[in-house]
Amino acid sequence: MAEPSTRISSQNGIDPTRASEAPAPVAVEMKPPQASKPGPDGIIRSQPETPLVDIMGGSSRQQINVLDHGFIALVDCMPRLVPQGQTADAAIVQAARVSYGQGTKKLNEDRGLIRYLLRHRHTTPLEMVEVKFHVCMPIFVARQWIRHRTANVNEYSARYSILPDRFYTPNLDQVRKQSKANRQGGEELFRVHDDAQELKTAQDFVSYLDDVEGFYKRYLALTEQGVSREMARIGLPVNMYTEWYWKCDLHNTLRFLALRIDAHAQAEIRVFAEAMLKLIEPLVPATVEAWRDYELGGVHLSRLEAEALSRLASGASPELACDNARERAEWADKLAKLGFRPS
Ligand X SMILES: Cc1cc2nc3c(=O)[nH]c(=O)nc-3n(C[C@H](O)[C@H](O)[C@H](O)COP(=O)(O)OP(=O)(O)OC[C@H]3O[C@@H](n4cnc5c(N)ncnc54)[C@H](O)[C@@H]3O)c2cc1C
Provide the binding-site residues for ligand X, judged by CB under 6 A: 147-150, 252, 255, 259, 264-265
Identify the active-site residue in 260, 270, 311, 341.
260
Q: Shortest distance, CB of residue 11 to ligand X, whole angstroms?
A: 24
Residue number with CB closer to ligand X (62 or 266): 266
Characterize the bridge pairing of strands 186-189 and 176-178.
Answer: antiparallel
- Nearest residue to ligand X on Cβ basis: 149
How far apart are alpha carbons 250 and 272 in whole angstroms? Answer: 16
Is there a contact between 273 and 137 (Cβ–Cβ < 8 Å)?
Answer: no
Q: Which amino acid is at 170?
A: P
**Residue 51 contacts by C-beta under 8 Å, 6 or more apart in sequence?**
83, 84
Residue number with CB closer to ligand X (115 or 251): 251
Q: Shortest distance, CB of residue 150 to ligand X, whole angstroms?
A: 4
How far apart are alpha carbons 78 and 128 in whole angstroms? Answer: 8
Is 7 one of the annotated active-site residues of the chain?
no
218: three-class secondary structure by DSSP = helix
Residue number with CB closer to ligand X (81 or 259): 259
Residue number with CB closer to ligand X (65 or 150): 150
Q: Shortest distance, CB of residue 262 to ligand X, whole angstroms?
A: 7
Residue number with CB closer to ligand X (256 or 331): 256
72: three-class secondary structure by DSSP = strand
Is there a contact between 44 and 138 (Cβ–Cβ < 8 Å)?
Answer: no
Q: Shortest distance, CB of residue 258 to ligand X, whole angstroms?
A: 9
Q: Which amino acid is at 59?
A: S
**Residue 202 contacts by C-beta under 8 Å, 6 or more apart in sequence?**
172, 173, 175, 190, 192
How far apart are alpha carbons 196 and 208 in whole angstroms? Answer: 18
Q: Shortest distance, CB of residue 273 to ligand X, whole angstroms?
A: 10
Is there a contact between 332 and 342 (Cβ–Cβ < 8 Å)?
Answer: yes
Residues labelled catalytic: 260
